[in-house]
Amino acid sequence: MPCRFLIILVALAWIVGAPLTAQKSRPLTPDGRPDLQGFWENDTVTPLERPAAFADRAFFSEQEAAEFQSEEQYNERYRRTRGNDELATSGELNGQWNTHGRIGRDRRTSLIVDPPDGRLPRRTPDAQARFDARQRWLKAHGADGPEDLPLSERCLLWGAGPPLIPVAYNNNLQIVQTRDAVMILHEMIHDARIVPLDGRPHLPPSVQQWTGDSRGHWDGDTLVVDTTNFTDKTAFQGSGTGLHVVERFTRTDPQTLRYEFTVDDSTSFARPWSGGLWMTKTDDRIYEYACHEANYSMMGILRGARAEEKDR
């Protein structure tokens, strides 16, 4: 009898203690919601699309992941995609100026998880026409004036999403959370996105914004953010004003935030597509990113374009 009684006590202790352990593993806010607050790193070397060399492979092996995220391979991929301009001008293409992150903990070969091939769906004919027209314009008029340059080169917006796809550097976020709203501050060009949680409707379709119009709600322990009302100035991978992004933020443990997103734009893509990555808690702080401080690139780009015009 004493032995059976002891077993019952142990079982009851486990049943009662399990929820307490779960609560300790995932911090909660005073109103009982998962606490997403703090500073998070979302830098990763995992590419958005699956590389051709891994066309039929959804996951890296441990050795492949280690090789892919090495500084040597990262710099080589940089050279292939952007040429040797960086080496020719400064010779500083190394890990000191650019922290390129690591392969995600699930070792996926792409951030895109759907379609299963890890590749972007094909563009619609209208979207392809918009894309081609934009490329022709950039080739002929890409530096007519400051307004013709991309928003990132003008220090206006880069990487703030949605979706939150890592960029070249400054891949850190700060999340501040209240009962009625969540603020997502992106380190690159310090853009702050305010997400209301009070059930208010989206803005009228006539009101369009660079980062769209976000509305949030809780789905169990996951924060769901629904964003519409984008402009055509922040096209993402060929998207248009019909872009609709749904993001999901889930704190899986004290040090980890799972980020998932779905892009839906029937005027631009043959089908919706989805992806995700892991964010890691950090004790580092986000400092001001003064994009224009001592920045002579704009002047150099415009002067170079004028010099080319004289030589024609």
pLDDT at position 23: 43
Give 3's pLDDT tier (boundaries 50, 70, 90).
very low
27 cis-preceded (ω within 30 degrees of 0) = no
Q: Which residue has the higher pLDDT, 53 or 17?
A: 53
> What are the extents of the domains in the chain?
38-60+103-311
Give 18's pLDDT tier (boundaries 50, 70, 90).
very low
Locus of tokens 């142990």: 10
pLDDT at position 85: 61
pLDDT digits (tens, 9 = 90+) for 218-232: 999 999 999 999 998
User: Can you tell me the mean pLDDT for 170-177?
Assistant: 94
pLDDT at position 295: 72
Share of the chain above pLDDT 90, in %: 53
Give 1's pLDDT tier (boundaries 50, 70, 90).
very low
pLDDT at position 5: 39
Tokens of 71: 């500084």
pLDDT at position 200: 96
User: Can you tell me the mean pLDDT for 237-258?
Assistant: 93
183 pairs with which residues across the strands?
176, 194
